[in-house]
Amino acid sequence: MDYSSSGDFNRQNPNQTANKGLLGSGWRPLYRQFDLNYLWHLFSYDTLELFKKSLDVTSDLADALGRNHYTWWANVLNVFSEDTQYHFNEFWEYITPEPFWPDQRYGRVLTVETPVTQIISRDSIPINYVIERLQEIILFKILEILGKPDLITQHFADRNYYYPVEQFTNWEKLEVLGQVYAFWSKHGGVWLEVQAYQGRKRGYSLLAKEISSLINKATFNLSVLVSGYQNRVGKIQSQYPIRSFPADIQAFTDLVQQLVLTQNQLAVLVQGKPGTGKTAWTQAVAKEILMPLGYVIFILDHDAVENFAPPSYLEKICLIINEADNLAQDRAFEAAQYSNKTEHILSLLDGTLHQSVSDDSGLYQEQKIVILMTCNTTERLDAAFLRKGRVDLIHEFTYQFV
Contacts of 61 by beta carbon, 8 Å cutoff, 6+ apart = 79, 84, 88
**Residue-wise DSSP of 172-215:** TTS--SSEEEEEE-STT-EEEEEEE-STT-EEEEEEES--HHHH
> Within a 10 A sphere around the Cβ of 20, how many other Cβ atoms?
14
* pLDDT tens, position by position, 102-120: 876 666 778 888 887 766 5
pTM above 0.85, yes or no: no
State which amino acid sits at residue 386.
Answer: L
pLDDT at 284: 96
| Spans in the chain with pLDDT lower than 50 | 1-11, 331, 334-338, 353-357, 361-364
Which residues are paired to 142 by β-bridges? none
State which amino acid sits at residue 327.
Answer: L
Q: Answer for the pair 242, 285: CB distance below 8 angstroms, yes or no.
A: yes
Burial class (CB in 10 A: 0-12, 13-18, 19+), 53: middle
> Within a 10 A sphere around the Cβ of 122, how many other Cβ atoms?
6
CATH architecture classification, 220-397? 3-Layer(aba) Sandwich (3.40)
pLDDT at 5: 36
Return the domain boundaries, the chain.
36-95, 107-216, 220-397
Q: How far apart are CA 39 and CA 57, in angstroms?
A: 16
pLDDT at 342: 66
pLDDT at 14: 59
Q: Answer for the pair 316, 215: CB distance below 8 angstroms, yes or no.
A: no
Which residues are paired to 297 by β-bridges? 223, 318
